[in-house]
């Protein structure tokens, strides 16, 4: 069985697309697929949407994305675990590619190719600010992870002491765990995910260019910056936020945490 884990904090705007994409991918997979949605302090109908789609729903109200993901994996019944955010959608062949990689015995797990729902000059420039920080870790570490549950458990899952950049930490530890048994950390390129641009919608397409120190603080795991970027933006519009860009769209959505 494959267990797909999705953390969800007020995700009614996005989660239907995620749920539908997992259902479509499950139809091509050789194994049974369960989708576990971890509700986190939801005040909208995210849970109802998930249940109506056939997903299994659990609850974790922690203000900690690592713990929320771990809660989902801990309730998983599958030998394979996949994590994907509620504002992302996988291509129909994604779970097939995950199975191929793990069945080959060559891979400990890994990440995927991620595309954005839209692109602008500001987004490209902002991403270029973050690229040096990402490349130094040499692992694909955003949007979706896949591995055997036994290996997830062996490395202790996501580190619940980290306020941010927990995805890079997880990827690096999974890669190191694989090296001990002669397996590689892989990146799926024959399938991909498409993720929303809600952070750019909230802060402005040029936000990282306007304040590159914010990116540096995130990668240094500064808790105040993490709270500001991941958890505290819901009640603020881009106009009121000091990272705002008057030319970009406003949004009330935040990441799945």
Residue 92 CA: distances (Å) to CA of 22, 98, 208: 8, 12, 32
Average pLDDT, rounded, for the chain: 84
The yes-or-no verdict on residue 191 having pLDDT over 50 is yes
The encoded tokens of residue 108 equal 């400990």
Residue whose structure tokens are 């801990």:
74
The CA-atom distances, in angstroms, between 208 and each of 1, 59, 154, 181, 214 are 40, 33, 36, 39, 7
Please give the angle made by the CA atoms of 191, 90 and 98, to the nearest 5 degrees.
Answer: 55
Compute the distance between CA of residue 18 and CA of residue 124 in angstroms, rounded to an integer.
Answer: 24
CA separation, residue 77 to residues 52, 72, 116, 152 (Å): 20, 10, 31, 13
Return the percentage of the chain with pLDDT > 70, whole number. Answer: 78
pLDDT, residue 225, reads 58
In the predicted structure, residue 27 carries a pLDDT above the cut 70: yes
237: confidence class by pLDDT, cuts 50, 70, 90? very low
The predicted pLDDT at position 212 comes to 76
Provide the pLDDT for residue 254: 32
Note the pLDDT tens digit of each residue in 37-55. 999 999 999 999 999 999 9
Could you tell me the domains of the chain? 2-115+139-195 (3.90.550.10)
């Amino acid at each position: 069985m494959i267990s797909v884990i999705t953390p969800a904090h007020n995700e009614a705007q996005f989660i239907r697309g995620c749920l539908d994409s997992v259902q479509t991918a499950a139809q091509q997979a050789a194994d049974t697929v369960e989708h576990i949605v971890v509700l986190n302090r939801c005040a909208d109908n995210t849970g109802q949407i998930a249940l109506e789609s056939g997903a299994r729903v659990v609850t974790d109200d922690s203000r900690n994305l690592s713990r929320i993901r771990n809660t989902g994996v801990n309730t998983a019944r599958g030998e394979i675990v996949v994590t994907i955010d509620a504002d992302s959608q996988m291509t129909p062949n994604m779970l097939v590619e995950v199975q191929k990689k793990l069945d080959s015995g060559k891979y400990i797990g890994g990440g995927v190719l991620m595309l954005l729902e839209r692109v602008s000059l500001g987004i490209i420039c902002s991403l270029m600010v973050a690229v040096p920080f990402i490349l130094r870790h040499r692992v694909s570490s955003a949007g979706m992870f896949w591995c055997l549950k036994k290996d997830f458990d062996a490395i202790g899952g996501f580190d619940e002491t980290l306020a941010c950049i927990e995805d890079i930490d997880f990827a690096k530890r999974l890669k190191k765990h694989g090296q001990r048994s002669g397996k590689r950390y892989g990146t799926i390129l024959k399938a991909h995910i498409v993720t929303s641009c809600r952070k750019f919608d909230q802060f402005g397409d040029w936000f990282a260019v306007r304040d590159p120190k914010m990116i540096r603080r995130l990668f240094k795991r500064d808790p105040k910056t993490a709270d500001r970027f991941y958890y505290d933006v819901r009640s603020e519009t881009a106009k009121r936020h000091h990272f705002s860009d008057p030319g970009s769209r406003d949004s009330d959505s935040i990441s799945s945490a």
